[in-house]
Structure 1
Amino acid sequence: MLHAVIMAGGSGTRFWPQSRQKLPKQLLRLAGDRTMIQQTLDRCGDLIQPAQSWIVTNAVQAEQTREQLPELPADNVLIEPAARNTAPCVGLAAIHALKRDPGAIMFVMPADHVIGPNEVFQAAAKKAVAVVEADPSRLVLFGITPDFPATGYGYIERAAPLDGVDGAFEVQAFREKPELAVAEQYLKSGSFYWNCGIFCWKAATILEQLKQNEPDTWDRLQTLMQAIDTENYDSVLADQFPQMNSISIDYAVLEQAKGVAVIEAPFSWDDVGSWLAVPRLSGSDENGNTTDGKHTGVDTKNCIVRSTDDHLVATLGVEDLIIVHTPDATLVARRDDSERIKELLERLKQQGDDSYL
């Protein structure tokens, strides 16, 4: 049976002040009428039922996650007691899926990407599942065809095509985030994809790979698996999970394993990395402004303005600004400083203003 695994952590920095530690971007409505995590689950449609859908998050965000996804069984929101990157995250979901379904196939995805159309995404998911069903040892990734020489993404280099599967290839190598000149070469070659962090594999297979490459983590996962559905689960989780090696599933398994395949993603994809993504996703008016909430502007150009329905933001004679109002904090920044928001949050931390983080 197919299981969705949605990785939903995050520290809530890039979209501050709307995003916070308790409300990271996947819990925000940034593109459309639903929050990003709701859209991620919606994207699966009838392909994956709520009972086979798992969210992996942390204790601070768990309650809000359950409130936003009431169709999910409460026990399907898995809580990490400590941040340990994606390998332990995937392992935690794998033992739960396997405990419930010995033949579980996992479709793993981040909670904070914008992807569409849904029917194209589902067709691609079915192709990945077919590859795994044909060869249960396969680990399948999705690659995004690059349209510019990005230096902020890892790359997947493809090798020979998979027999009988259109748009699927063996993986030649994984490449770190490149310098611009190297990224330009990747783009020109046509044999590289952006690694978007969407995976498909058998739960039993990924656990076997963790056993080979991260044996200590595997041992702790086995201990934890024995405690599932017992009164000791929470205490065993609190003891074992924080001791797991903090490492990504890419480094822990994918870059070591054989039989890794990449499918060229037929869907559109955006990782929504900063406020600058919002105009790209939601569009702009004739003056280049993207607004959400109550706003009135005169001689205002190329601004991103977000507020609430009961608070007016009025702008006069400004351009190229990000203005975000919330009940307890307001951000005013130049658009080209969007990546520096983390500096602002570090200053707040130094000042002891943790309540705004």
Structure 2
Amino acid sequence: MLHAVVMAGGSGTRFWPKSRRNRPKQLLRLYGDATMLQQTVARIAPLVTPERTLIITGSDQADAVRAQLPQLPPENVVAEPCPRDTGPCVGLAAEIVARKDADGTMIVMPADHVIEPREKFLTTVSAAVSVIDADPSAFVTFGIKPTHPETGYGYIERGEALPSKAGIALHRVAQFREKPDRETAERFLAEGRFAWNSGIFVWRARAILDALQTHRPVLAAALDRVGQALGTADEEETVAREYPLMEKVPIDKAVMEKATNVRVLEVVYDWNDVGDWRALTALVPPDDQGNTTQGKVFANDTTGSIIVSDDGGVIATLGVDDLVIVQSGGATLVARKDQLDKLKALVEGLDKGGFGSLL
């Protein structure tokens, strides 16, 4: 059976001040009537029941996640005692799935992507599952066709073409590439055989655990000790002891870059990873002056800006261009759009500067 694993951790820096440590972006309603986490779970719901849906999150966010997803069994919201990147996160989820369903297939998804339309996403998932059903040792990743030379994403180089699935192109993966510099990204785009790495994967739970055993045996041994304790009186103590000592490593580096049986489906849906406030422009149509606004905003002689009033107050602007202005939770951010890559450093500076209560 298919199980959904939603990775819902995060430190809440990229959408500060609206996001906070206990309220990262996936718990926010950035657009529409539901939070990003709720939209992610609803998106996969036609293929996966709540009982087969796992959320892996931080211990300080678990209660908020359960409150947002009351349809899930409370125990399906699994709290990591500390962040250890996606390798241990995926491994922990695989241990849980494998003990419930020895032949279980997992789709692993970040909680904070925007994907439209849902029907094309579900078709892609079903295509990936059919690949795994035919070869349970395979790993499938979803590749996004690049639209510009993006330096903020990892890339997948396509290899041999395989028979398509449901009209979706399928290839072997030649190799994974790290986030490139501008010149390399432009070359990737021109060559046409590279896809953005979406971070969405489909595989058998047992297969990813076996791969971790091969490529990361120390991590796999720690995960096995956790797995043996699941559902016993020792579970909480074992997780608390083992998890902080696990290697902090992405699943891409731990397995995907080393495995030889990786396939990539070139997806046909629209995808946005909502990286920071600039992504809001693609989700909320700008006005005639190119401004994206939410809440009570009066923009006068203002162009190309993103302005969000989340506190109920009014933000009035005059004669500004290409700014991001966000007022939320007693804090206000004013930044040039081209400086948002430095927002994490700003938030860290606020903590050191004695403003930790705003984080």
Which interval holds the TM-score relative to the shorter structure? over 0.9
Task: Give me the whole-angstrom Cα distance separating, in 1, the residues matched to 2:53 and 2:17.
Answer: 30
1:143-222 to 2 correspondences below 5 Å = 143-163=143-163, 165=165, 166-222=168-224
1:32 counterpart residue number: 32
- Is residue 110 from structure 1 mapped to residue 80 from structure 2 by the alignment? no
2:237 counterpart residue number: 235
2:309 counterpart residue number: 307
When residues 147 and 105 of structure 1 are mapped into structure 2, their CA distance, relative to the original with a 3 A threshold, is: same
When residues 280 and 163 of structure 1 are mapped into structure 2, their CA distance, relative to the original with a 3 A threshold, is: closer
Task: Give me the whole-angstrom Cα distance separating, in 2, the residues matched to 1:251 and 1:35.
Answer: 30
1:276 counterpart residue number: 278
When residues 156 and 244 of structure 1 are mapped into structure 2, their CA distance, relative to the original with a 3 A threshold, is: same
Task: Give me the whole-angstrom Cα distance separating, in 2, the residues matched to 1:109 and 1:27.
Answer: 15
167-176 or 328-337: which moved more? 328-337
194-203 or 265-274: which moved more? 265-274
| DSSP-derived class of the 2:107 partner | strand
Number of residues paired by the alignment? 357
When residues 164 and 305 of structure 1 are mapped into structure 2, their CA distance, relative to the original with a 3 A threshold, is: closer
92-101 or 134-143: which moved more? 92-101
1:75 counterpart residue number: 75
2:21 counterpart residue number: 21
Quote the offset at 1:316 in angstroms: 2.6
Quote the offset at 1:116 in angstroms: 1.0
**CA deviation string 1:151-184 (max 9, x = no partner):** 1111111111123534000111111111222211
RMSD, matched Cα: 1.3
Task: Give me the whole-angstrom Cα distance separating, in 2, the residues matched to 1:272 and 1:129.
Answer: 26
1:137-148 to 2 correspondences below 5 Å = 137-148=137-148
What TM-score comes out, normalization by structure 1 length? Answer: 0.97
Runs of 5+ consecutive residues of structure 2 not aligned to the other structure: none
Quote the offset at 1:262 in angstroms: 0.4
When residues 135 and 248 of structure 1 are mapped into structure 2, their CA distance, relative to the original with a 3 A threshold, is: same
109-118 or 158-167: which moved more? 158-167
**CA deviation string 1:216-250 (max 9, x = no partner):** 11111111112111222111100111111111111
1:266 counterpart residue number: 268
Quote the offset at 1:29 in angstroms: 1.2
- Is residue 58 from structure 1 mapped to residue 58 from structure 2 by the alignment? yes
Is the 1:162–1:168 Cα contact (8 Å) retained in structure 2? yes
